[in-house]
Amino acid sequence: MNRRSDCPVSCILEVVGDTWTLLLMRDILFLDKHRYDEFLNSPEGISSNVLTNRLHQMEKSGLIEKVPYSNHRYRFSYTATEKGQDLKPVLKAMSTWGFKHCENAKTPEEILGRGKNV
Amino acid sequence: MNRRSDCPVSCILEVVGDTWTLLLMRDILFLDKHRYDEFLNSPEGISSNVLTNRLHQMEKSGLIEKVPYSNHRYRFSYTATEKGQDLKPVLKAMSTWGFKHCENAKTPEEILGRGKNV
């Protein structure tokens, strides 16, 4: 992998610098979402082709792993690896900033009437 | 501003979701860089047109402010506002992740032989 630099901030941004990647990690780590259709229904409205691409990239980067569910050969449940779990403090720090500086930022409960607080 | 959702994580990503924005905030907050040519010389190799665009966006978003320096009417020093300063915990959490999961991640001192640790 051709890195821009060896700075750890630059390194993490090359893995999760994409907005959708961090929103999907939020879904998995804090909102208990693990299936393709659950991600597709998140309020940000990711498109199916972007979602497919990002899940593939995230698996390749070692942030998530997929296992088949319910005896469906082509349906998968996506869960965070240790590398993915370690993004929790990053997302928590982002959430703290968002609540302070983004007007009317809402908890998942307020947005959807369900889910866990980030 | 048309938001994708009111989730605080989504909100911060709409402000700083761009890789270069976070690298420039790193330069300002941790590496004591404040001038155009200093940003241009960072190891990630930002191009001048992207740099100009991002500095403008960051000022517009209220993350940084610019003041003329050394009696040069068109030369500016860029500093973080309170909103920008509040990104420190985000960048620190990113740095912690990077040191753990990115092989051979290096401190600024190791990369450049100068600067402060993030």
Q: What is the mean pLDDT of chain A?
A: 90
Query: Does the CB of B51 have a partner CB in chain A at under 8 Å?
Result: no
Q: CA–CA distance from B81 to each of A49, A78, B59, B66, B74 (Å)?
A: 38, 39, 9, 10, 21
Interface test with A, best of B33, B82, B85, B94 (most A CBs within 10 A): B94
Query: Does the CB of A92 have a partner CB in chain B at under 8 Å?
Result: yes
pLDDT of residue B113: 65
CA pair distance A91, A99, nearest whole angstrom = 12
Is A118 contained in some domain? no
Query: Does the CB of B85 have a partner CB in chain A at under 8 Å?
Result: no
Is A2 contained in some domain? no
pLDDT of residue A74: 77
pLDDT of residue B109: 79
Is A117 contained in some domain? no
B97–A87 CB contact, under 8 Å? yes
Number of structural domains (chain A) is 1
Side-chain-side CA neighbours of A51 within 13 Å: the count stands at 17
DSSP state of A79: E
* Residue spans of beta strands (DSSP E) within A53-112: 64-68, 76-80
pLDDT surpasses 80 at A118: no
Is B54 contained in some domain? yes
pLDDT of residue A64: 98
Distance from CA of A69 to the nearest CA of B (A): 29
pLDDT of residue A115: 46
pLDDT of residue B1: 58
Is B2 contained in some domain? no
Assign residue A89 the CATH number of its domain. Answer: 1.10.10.10
Higher model confidence: residue B75 or residue A27?
Answer: A27
Is B3 contained in some domain? no
Mean pLDDT of A10-38: 95
- State the complex-level ipTM: 0.89
Q: Please, which pLDDT band fits residue A116 given cuts at 50, 70 and 90?
A: very low
Is A62 contained in some domain? yes
Tell me the residue range of the domain where B42 lies. 8-112
User: What are the pLDDT tens digits along chain B (118 aa)?
Assistant: 578 999 999 999 999 989 999 999 999 999 999 999 999 999 999 999 999 999 999 999 999 999 988 777 778 999 999 999 999 999 999 999 999 999 889 987 787 665 444 5
The structure's pTM equals 0.90
Mean pLDDT of A9-14: 94
Question: Which tens digit of pLDDT belongs to each residue from A73-83?
Answer: 778 999 999 99
Question: Which tens digit of pLDDT belongs to each residue from A35-83?
Answer: 999 999 999 999 999 999 999 999 999 999 999 887 777 789 999 999 9
Please check whether residue A92 is in contact with residue A118, taking contact to mean a CB–CB distance below 8 angstroms: yes
Is A25 contained in some domain? yes
Contacts with B11 from chain A: Cβ below 8 Å = 98, 101-102, 105
Contacts with B98 from chain A: Cβ below 8 Å = 7-12
